[in-house]
Amino acid sequence: MSASVEYSAPDSAGRFGPYGGAFVPEILIPELQALRTAFAEAWASNTFKDRYHALLQTYVGRPTALTRADRLSEVLGDVQIFLKREDLCHTGAHKINNTIGQILLARQMGKTRIIAETGAGQHGVATATVAARFGLECIVYMGAEDMQRQALNVARMELLGAEVRAVTSGSQTLKDATNEAIRDWVSNPNDTFYIIGSVVGPHPYPVMVRSFHCVIGEETKSQLEAATGRANPDALVACVGGGSNAIGLFYPFIQDPEVQLFGVEAAGEGLNGRHAATLSRGKPGVLHGALSYLLQDTQGQVKLAHSISAGLDYPGVGPEHAWLKDLERVCYSAITDTEALYGVRLLSCTEGIIPALETAHAIAALKHIVDRVRPGGTIVVNCSGRGDKDMQTIMARS
Ligand SMILES: *Cc1c(COP(=O)(O)O)cnc(C)c1O
């Protein structure tokens, strides 16, 4: 077995190699410092961790299953595929692992007002859910364009007691909703906690959100050991939007070089057309408080992303993924809208599991990944969410 690799990012300034950091208006610097301290204390405290794990068990439904996918494996070749079933979490995806952690921290810090940004509404719903559970005021910023496209999630958030504020600036999508949430935080720093939905944003968000999702990889280790006698698979595969479900699965294995890691972005209409393949085609730049890869035009202006899956439709990516790409620790590739639709059908008809369109990118990438794994090798795919929310899109394209 090869020696383990030293990997200790981020540093004390929140840098993952050259990436990350905190590029924010000055008024937020003390807020981020307070958040850093509160998170470090909470994460070192057994009381906080017990509370967090109790909610994951009794409210989210953890541990999620690790499902052996024999019929899918048979179609793909001489491999054994397992699915980590984040689709079975309450609200239908992994996102709630993070919103549970952040709302506990908000309460610990005495904050009374929760704000969040949302694109398709999945993070907005996961935030509105935990805000309802704890009886806190919740405001979700959402692009007016996205509110039209995702009317069902708007209705869900409202039913859960959240106020959804329409953002009419710029492209009226996620990027603009995030700008508006940051603006709100700047105006109300004392009572407000900003729950960010992925491993993006200024330090300490990328490391904090990673910590709240690592339960995915930790459970996978013990479940795989129980199922196969070996805690390490040959490969892990996950889709990458901001990168939170991927880092949650990867991180507990990152020091073990025999575990190959594969991140799958959205190639949309193709890498020469409209896409959301930030790591494959972006260049370093600052967005939403951190330096990372970014889709930008020749003037450095942020380009609109496109993907059939709303959760991958973001022009940025978490700074840790930028660093893991440069280190070549994770291999990133991209899957088109059409291939993703094939991934939905493949998992549905081989395993009886309808995946989210985001997840379907990871499924569709498997046919390229199996050739890079030893014969009979074990692959774990993160089944980040269920496909119910995407049925209209799927129907329109079949
Ligand atoms: C939001 C979402 C994603 C993408 O977000 P990451 O931060 O990259 O994990 C992937 N899958 C599902 C089901 C989602 O809802």
Distance 71 CA to ligand 1 centre (A): 25
Q: State the pTM of this model.
A: 0.97
Task: Kindly state the percentage of the chain with pLDDT values over 70.
Answer: 99
pLDDT digit string, tens, across residues 322-372: 999 999 999 999 999 999 999 999 999 999 999 999 999 999 999 999 999
Query: How many C-beta atoms surround the C-beta of residue 274 within 10 A?
Result: 16
Q: Which two tokens stand for residue 106?
A: 């908000």
Distance 311 CA to ligand 1 centre (A): 5
Of all protein residues, the one whose alpha carbon is nearest to atom 2 of ligand 1 is 311
User: Do 237 and 308 meet the contact criterion of CB atoms below 8 Å apart?
Assistant: no
Looking at ligand 1, which atom is closest to the CA of residue 246? 9
Q: 245 C-alpha to center of ligand 1: Å?
A: 6
Q: How far apart are CA 279 and CA 282, in angstroms?
A: 6
Where are any strands of DSSP class E within the chain?
15-16, 19-20, 66-68, 79-85, 113-118, 137-143, 163-167, 192-194, 235-239, 260-268, 283-287, 290-294, 330-336, 377-383
Residue to probe by mutation, ligand 1, list 90, 198, 216, 359, most atoms within 8 Å of CB: 198
Query: Measuring from atom 14 of ligand 1, which residue has the nearest CA?
Result: 311
Of the CA atoms within 13 Å of residue 141, those in its CB half-sphere come to 25
DSSP state string for 206-275: HHHHHHHHTHHHHHHHHHHHHHHS-S--SEEEEE-SSSHHHHHHHGGGTT-TTSEEEEEEEEET-TTSS-
- The residue whose CA is least distant from atom 1 of ligand 1 is 311
Is the dihedral angle over the CA atoms 263, 267, 271, 275 positive or is it negative? Answer: negative
Residue-wise pLDDT for 278-324, tens only, equals 999 999 999 999 999 999 999 989 999 999 998 999 999 999 999 99
With the most atoms of ligand 1 within 8 angstroms of its CB, the residue from 94, 388, 389, 393 to mutate is 94
Q: How confident is the model at residue 227 (pLDDT cuts 50, 70, 90)?
A: very high
Closest residue CA from atom 10 of ligand 1: 358
Cβ–Cβ under 8 Å, residues 122 and 313:
no
Question: What is the rounded distance in angstroms from the CA atom of residue 237 to the CA atom of residue 317?
Answer: 17
CA distances for 128 relative to 158, 181, 384, angstroms = 8, 15, 19
Ligand 1 mean position to 375 CA, how many Å?
30
- pLDDT value at position 5? 65
Q: What is the pLDDT of residue 1?
A: 38
Q: Taking Cα atoms as reference points, which of 187, 145, 196, 186 lies closest to residue 304?
A: 145
Quote the CA–CA distance of 39 and 102 in Å, as a whole number. 9
Pocket of ligand 1 (CB under 6 A): 93, 95, 122, 198, 239-246, 311-312, 356, 358-359, 384-385
Is pLDDT of 109 > 80? yes
Alpha carbon dihedral 341, 347, 350, 351, in 10-degree steps, equals -150
* Residues that are catalytic: 95, 117, 384
Residues in Cβ contact with 24 at an 8 Å cutoff, skipping those fewer than 6 apart: 32, 182, 202, 289
Residue 384 · residue 309 · CB < 8 Å = no
Q: Output the CA 44–ligand 1 centroid distance in Å.
A: 27
Ligand 1, residues 87, 95, 99, 353: which to mutate, most atoms within 8 A of Cβ?
Answer: 95
